[in-house]
Chains A and B, each alone.
Chain A
Amino acid sequence: MSNREPGFDTLAIHAGAQPDPATGARITPIYQTASFVFDDVDHAASLFGLQAFGNIYTRITNPTTAVLEERVAALEGGTAALAVSSGHAAQLLVMHALMQPGDEFVAAKKLYGGSINQFGQSFKSFDWHVKWAEGLAPADFEAQITKKTKAIFIESLANPGGVVMDIAGIAAVAKKHHIPLIVDNTMATPYLCRPIEHGADIVVESLTKFLGGHGNSMGGIIVDGGTFDWAKDDRFPILTQPREEYNGMVLAETFGNFAFAIACRVLGLRDLGPAISPFNAFQIIAGIETLALRMERHCENALKVAEHLKAHDKVEWVSYAGLKDDEHHAMQQKYMPKGAGAVFTFGVKGGYDAGIAVVSNVEIFSHLANIGDTRSLIIHPASTTHRQLNDEQQAAAGAGADVLRLSVGIESVDDLIADLDQALAKI
């Protein structure tokens, strides 16, 4: 094919997936195998020395998973990607490649509750330290940067509150201090927003959510934007120092603009081990083929549900950037004009008990801790996903006692509205 740039929907179906070279199977086969035989000793040595391309062991590469990786890299506009067992595993591997003991990174307070725990609690065991930006503005991030800062981490569309971050503004701060900007694009997906185009250097995603889209497979991904100059200074030694285990190879020199993805694979994934199952990769590949269609419907339904709740007398407030009078609407129009996503929060009159009553009485919405499924989901963050946070942290994360979070599915929207109405009537 000539260098005509394929459209998003074409990439969602074709990127990475040629017919199988051995059989001609048109759908990517599930290479459900732990290992791959070598041609001979020299071939094996070349593979272990990173001198040849090929598969050794499914913990490190797998042909089914490779299709998923190239597809998401293409959709995000990155140079390469690495799929792993979950979104949390993706974040762990990114930080493993960037951070040395004692190092810091700056993160937004508006994050998925699980990320707040991972950063604030578990990462302390590695002597990696998160500094929380007080507000959402680029200056709030810059204020937390010190000599030890190795990255900035934000969500493009923040969970759970429907906050749209100023990606380009924060990217400018990262660039000024020569640190990479990591953007979790799980809630927006590349259909709504491509953070690399706005200055992000690394994108992470939970594939379990909208990309897979059917709530049936765990997965996470790291996309290398290919934009960061690792070799500019010696602040990222994993990429710029000779690696003993690869006979002194310098990854940034050998792999150029996809060295970060390689580092996460041949050091992080190889040694820490959170590989995705090829079967899960297969399911997620199939899901991605309909990403654009699903996201269109998700956004359309979410907007109708948000408008309905906004006018409901049992509802105190609705936080959805798709609403014209929402404080994040201008940012949404700038960064994700095709829609504000499917996940948003609203506050019920009556606080904690009223919130519990709604999640207990819905009949179509499922009460569970996930987002981005075809079916509609509801959760009361204060009693579940954000339970480990104190009251102040819950409020800061947009997960106070009265808050309910919806992930609006692609069912008939009238049924979703009727379901919420009957549950709200029982408060």
Chain B
Amino acid sequence: MNLSLLIILPLLTALLILLSKQLAQIRVIGLVGSIAQLGTASWLLKLYMDQRAAGNTATHLFETNAVWFKALNINYHIGIDGIALAMILLTSLIVVAGILVSWTMEKLSKEYFFLLVLLSMGAYGFFISLDLFTLFFFLEVAVIPKFLLIGIWGSGRKENSAMKLALMLMAGSALVFVGLMGIYYNTHTFDMVEIGKMGMSLGVQKFFFPFLFLGFGIFAALFPFHTWVPDGHASAPTAASMFLAGISMKLGGYGCLRMAALMPDAAHAYSWVIILLATIAIIYGAFATMMQTDLKYINAYSSISHCGFVILGIGMLNKTSINGAVIQMVSHGLMTALFFAAIGMIYSRTHTRMVAQLGGLLKAMPFISTVFVIAGLCSLGLPGFSGFVAEMTVFMGSWQNPDGVYRAATVISAASIVVTAVYILRATGRTIMGPISDEHALLSDASWNEKLAAGLLIIGILIIGLAPFLINQLIMPTTDFLMININKAITLK
């Protein structure tokens, strides 16, 4: 299968949306297009697993390599491994759910759907890129739509939030770009596969790794560059929040992971910094969440805490922890998207997101409330949901590092599960349970599109939560491969 299909499909959908005239047309095209993406991604999974079962042990499958800009040795080099495929599946699922919850969007709907689809194209391109320049290109493609989505369709201080988000992410991109240049002038190629084979001297790695890791880290809400997250999420319309947390933040996590694998010596040398920042993000994010009063802020801050687990898993640099980081990326993507969807559904009915003004919603909207509770339980790591699998894998991986400081980091991070329980139960207790106000008692429950969107995401969460061996089967061989280089770096020390 040609992976370019993953870029062509959204591009085609976006073009058709531009050409269509009415709202009905636009959203049907959007939905069909996104379902086609999901179908392609699923088909890709099947083909991938078949190939692996047939004994194909190449690192990347479905590779294509075409010259893009000869003078600078930039190639359109694409291919996927297990981790990339997991991210592609995540993206496609969230795109469908996002389109579904935007079903009733009437304000400038053409532009809205166009930007959503464009964003998804950027994400696919990013995940399939094996060439650093291509990777960077798609990263940028995914940033611009976010600015517009928040600035135009947002709420509250949307211009300010959109500006903050765009500027901070652009700063991240700039750092990434500096790092890229550094790598290029030392290796004379952008090709990640080749760079991986060549390796770079420790000095070069140590100099340029911080640029790349921090740059991607800003996307992944790395402390202390996470402040775009709460404002951006809170102002964004529902689907944009879902995309932002479910896809955009994963671009960062994925980038960090790739960079750590590309420059293992530097990653090892800096691992204590990474772990320190991750641990702070986890516990600090959790405590900050506890004090929030707006549902979107609650979920945004909790994302900072949860994304900390991704960084922690990467920083610990062992197979189990990296596996955990990948599962956490997928799990967090699904879970936050679900959470934002539920919050959006509540907001569109009650016109408030303030916890204090809500209460007893279970009585009026049993479906939405159940979705909210499921997202919450997943967030607090209840077994049976994906969050548990992800967090436990990260913890078990982190614990393998017997160094006292790393142990302390693990224990502190694990302690966040208690704080998580506190803020989730506070939010649930006040909005879903308790007495309901008279005006809210008459509100309607979820409509078909909302049910479908929530159902899809919940299925994803349950598949990982109930049968984690499936996702492990997909990503483990890839982590094994990443570990070859990383272990070399560690044993050198």
Q: Do A and B bind each other?
A: no
